[in-house]
A and B are shown apart, each in its own frame.
Chain A
């Protein structure tokens, strides 16, 4: 079971097994192409590919709440704002008296929404199928400093734990009869004694954690053996180069009049 902020979903699909860099490249390239592609049809093509990959990785069900919770409101907001108020609006699409929805604005909104869809679904595709620890490990194996790798790996676990302890302190204050609801002034006063132990304990905790890491040899610049072997294949390397090559190609095509 992954813990903390990690949303990794256990699985054994081709995407789960792929090298973290392959998935990272795929994500970045999909986002880039989504924004470079000139027309809605192309952006939707990228989105469909991403949806296919989410299905292939068997995480599409976990993507639905993301789509409904994040993407739907953004899309609606874009459609309303652009449809009513885009300066290029000329052609009435849906007459609503003086405040009609216009075709030009709706087209702009749809393109923007489709691009955001690509951005978010590509990011979640990576997060659902890749352990943060594996991504950091892959980066360290390519020369990223272990200190930076550690920050990536630990932040996702330790931040939620600290928030949990903040919640515990709040509960303890409430148990002592400290009112945390009420007028603004009352609330501000109530939060003062709440913040102090929190700040102190987090300060002490980071100091003790820093020492505890040091007595375990963290920060030593010796040759580290690879912690896990992250399988990589020639096919995946070729795929990564192919994906990367698509970006300049798309930029070139766009300058050459790609519609």
Chain B
């Protein structure tokens, strides 16, 4: 089976700069995986997503060394637009992802499929399905700019889903959402994961990463600091120091429980009861 995303010896720097923002990344993401990407500010998390989407080269015109394969195709052999039917990318700010050209939620979701020339009947079916997946069917006739931040971000996700992507790149999708909006977005993503979509998610909410992701990669200064299950990565001393860890780790450590410390709510309850 072809990997969803492969990076081999990837180094990247933005134009007119000398530092490599990605500095030797090797990673293989298998189809169906939900990968969490964590790291401090400026670690290179966004750039990692831009590189995988092909934006780092095509949009920012920076210098890329090494190999990136997305769903079996070398990243530079396809344009971002061509890739956009198979790979979706969600950005931080829900507002900047609204096209602004459509006056209804369902028309907004149709924007992508229509750009790709899908026939109207198919577009209609895709839109209904995507809105269903993110739980926005009821709001289909509202104006996009009347939605809350959390609803807007789910609308942006639906707009990607309508193109039936196999791989989703999410760059801090909940950073501007309130707790309710965050919960709803994670629930939608869990359903997609269960349906087999590959997800690469940059996220600062480490408890959620530990809870949801199959695997975590910790980045620091453009390098991979640790790569493995959430339990392993968040028990790594270097990760704890440079990135942090779910609150349960700190709690368990401070009351003197023996390591490895629990990283999720469930395991924490069990550890504290033992």
| Total of A-B residue pairs, C-beta within 8 Å | 108
How far, in Å, is A143 (CB) from chain B's closest CB? 16
Binds B, one of A76-84, A111-119, A203-211: A203-211
Which residues 72-111 of B have a CB within 8 angstroms of A? 80-81, 84-85, 87-89, 91-93, 95-97, 99-103, 107, 110-111
Per the bound structure, the CA–CA distance linking A217 and B164 in Å amounts to 13
- B53-88 vs A, CB cutoff 8 Å, 1 = contact: the mask equals 101000100000000000000000000110011011
Q: Which residues of B contact A226 (CB under 8 A)?
A: 120
Binds A, one of B13-21, B155-163, B261-269: B155-163
How far, in Å, is A177 (CB) from chain B's closest CB? 25
Q: Which residue of the partner chain, among B89, B96, B116, contacts A209 with CB atoms under 8 Å?
A: B96
Per the bound structure, the CA–CA distance linking A211 and B59 in Å amounts to 8
The answer to whether the Cβ of A176 comes within 8 Å of any Cβ in the partner chain is: no
Q: Which residues of B contact A145 (CB under 8 A)?
A: none
The answer to whether the Cβ of A150 comes within 8 Å of any Cβ in the partner chain is: yes
- B126-146 vs A, CB cutoff 8 Å, 1 = contact: the mask equals 000000000000000001011
Query: Interface size on B (CB < 8 Å)?
Result: 41
Q: Which residue of the partner chain, among B59, B93, B115, B123, contacts A217 with CB atoms under 8 Å?
A: B115
- A211-252 vs B, CB cutoff 8 Å, 1 = contact: the mask equals 111111111101111110000000000000000000000000
Query: Interface size on A (CB < 8 Å)?
Result: 36
The answer to whether the Cβ of A153 comes within 8 Å of any Cβ in the partner chain is: yes
Q: Which residues of B contact A161 (CB under 8 A)?
A: 95, 100, 145
- B184-199 vs A, CB cutoff 8 Å, 1 = contact: the mask equals 0000000000000000
B160 touches A216 (CB 8 A): yes
A1 touches B116 (CB 8 A): no
The answer to whether the Cβ of B117 comes within 8 Å of any Cβ in the partner chain is: yes
Q: Which residue of the partner chain, among A1, A157, A220, A223, contacts B100 with CB atoms under 8 Å?
A: A157
Would A216 and B159 be within 8 Å (CB), given that A3-B143, A150-B101, A154-B101 are in contact? yes
Per the bound structure, the CA–CA distance linking A218 and B160 in Å amounts to 12
A3 touches B114 (CB 8 A): no
Identify the A interface with B (CB < 8 A).
1-4, 131, 133, 136, 146, 149-150, 153-155, 157-158, 161, 205, 208-220, 222-227
